[in-house]
Structure 1
Amino acid sequence: MAFERFDAASAALLLIDHQVGTMGWVKSIPFEEMKRNALMLANTARILKLPVVLTSSMEEYAQGPLLAELATILPNEFAARIKRVGIVNAMDDENFAAAVRATGRRKIIIAGVTNDVCTVFPALSLVSDGYEVQVIADAGGSPSAVGDDMALRRMEKAGVTLSSTNQVIAELVGSWGTPEGGVIVQQVMMPALQS
């Protein structure tokens, strides 16, 4: 199969459940690294004008609110976030599924806070619906390394492409020499490398 790059004209980003409570459950990757990577994706999407769908689950309970930084980076998307009432597979939520369809994109980048619950099921659903899916494994994690490994294996076996934050940003940008590429180097990549 020929390689078809995910780029700003073809891809959409789904950020699933990056909530302050839920993020504390992740043990397979350091909290600050996961948070930094999720925010790098959000900033890259803002600069490249990618469609972004944000969702949260049961904000009023243990999961807590979405990261406050997302409201600063993507204020419109934050205000329009899909608040699920405990539905595990975000694609089973009619409002979320409609928002994904409304992007008009068939290449979907997913970062979910827990790969073994928040990410795996929508990724599998989207692949079965004919979407090309990249899961950004280091913008989420799982309560255990084994759980994370099992989720990543299951997704890859089903046809999901596994990727990392830096890899997908480079793929989306295509050239650091473009105006957008230069901004991403200065505002996204360099601060991350220095932190």
Structure 2
Amino acid sequence: MKSTGELDPRDTAIVLIDHQIGTMGWVRSIEQKEMEKNAAALAKVAVALDMPLVLTSSMEEYAQGPLMPQLKEIAPDNYESRIKRGGIVNCWNDKNFSDAVRATGKKTLIMAGVTTDVCLAPPAISVKDEGFNIITIADASGSPSKMADDMAIRRMEKSGVTVTTTNAIIAELAKDWTSDDGSKLIQIVMSDLLPE
């Protein structure tokens, strides 16, 4: 599916993949606090605009650990209903996860994941191949090295996946800061994203 360029929040879901305490500790391509802040902002956007939010984690009982606690605070129901995967690397191959994403009924997915190279790129490409419009958020994701991140981004873009940043996608969803949606989103930008 080709993007028309106009992002419709009513036909969009947000998907956060493996933002787990242990996994995020392996990231070196971006400052961990920056990545956490941006992932949390995306969850807040989903809640503010009443957009579907799908969370998934992998092997929480091992080194990967639980999802970052901010997600439980922001979206407790989504946190409780998160898709816990065993060892399936490409989460799209986990039937519970893919069924949960399809059940949103949305054609556009805003996705972020940790790590970008292992946990985000493969499902983003798989879902794109299935006909969804996929937008990945580079600064809410990260890899163990800059090279791993760069290669993953190149691979996604070559597959037709759009790559952008948290602030840019929020502005795109807002369309007009004076609208109802825009006024909710500008608060997230001002409190969570812009420097003090």
CA deviation after TM superposition for structure 1 residue 76, in Å: 1.0
SS of 2:111's partner is strand
Q: Which amino acid aligns with 1:81?
A: R
* 1:58 corresponds to 2:85: no
**Separation of aligned partners in 2, 1:105 and 1:183:** 21
SS at match of 1:5: coil
**How far is the alpha carbon of 1:2 from its aligned partner?**
6.9
Instruction: Answer yes or no: is the 8 Å Cα contact 2:12–2:106 preserved in 1.
Output: yes
Task: Give the structure-1-normalised TM-score.
Answer: 0.96
* 8 Å Cα contact 1:7-1:174 kept in structure 2: no
| Structure-2 separation of matches of 1:108 and 1:172 | 12
Q: Aligned partner of 1:142: which letter?
A: S
CA distance in 1, matches of 2:10, 2:41: 19
Deviation of residue 189 (structure 1)?
0.8
CA root-mean-square deviation: 1.2
- In structure 2, the residue matched to 1:189 is 189
Paired position in structure 1 for 2:133: 132
Normalised to the residue count of structure 2, the TM-score between the two structures is: 0.96
- Name the structure 2 match of 1:112: 113
Question: For each residue in 1:60-95, what CA deviation from the matched residue of structure 2 results, as whole angstroms up to 9, or x when unmatched?
Answer: 110000011101111111110000001100000000
Aligned partners of 1:179, 1:12: CA distance in 2, in Å? 19
Q: For the Cα contact (< 8 Å) 2:46–2:52, is it kept in 1? A: yes
Q: How does 1:77-92 map to 2 (within 5 A)?
A: 77-92=78-93
Tell me the secondary structure at the aligned position of residue 65 of structure 1. coil
Amino acid at match of 1:158: S
Letter matched to residue 62 of structure 2:
Y
Tell whether 2:149 aligns with 1:148: yes
Partner AA of 2:21 in structure 1: V
1:52 and 1:110 map into 2 onto residues whose CA distance is: 10
Gaps of 5+ in 2: none
Task: Give the direction of change, closer, same or farther, for the CA distance of 1:65–1:164 in structure 2 (3 Å limit).
Answer: same
Alignment match, 1:75: 76
Q: How does 1:161-180 map to 2 (within 5 A)?
A: 161-180=162-181
Instruction: Classify 1:177/1:113 alpha carbon distance in 2 versus 1 (closer, same or farther; 3 Å).
Output: same
Count how many residue pairs are aligned between Structure 1 and Structure 2: 194
Separation (CA, whole Å) in 1 of partners of 2:3 and 2:153: 23
Q: Tell me the distance in 1 between the aligned counterparts of 2:184 and 2:174.
A: 10
Q: Give, in whole Å, the separation in 2 of the partners of 1:95 and 1:82.
A: 7
1:27-65 residue CA offsets vs partner (Å, 9 max, x unmatched): 000011000100010001110111110000000110000
The CA distance in 1 between the partners of 2:81 and 2:166, in whole Å, is 24
Using the TM superposition, give the Cα deviation of residue 3 of structure 1 relative to its aligned residue in structure 2, in angstroms: 3.1
**Deviation per residue, 1:91-130 (Å, 9 max, x gap):** 0000000001000011111000211011011001001101
What does 1:93-104 align with in structure 2 at a 5 Å threshold?
93-104=94-105
Partner of 1:6: 7
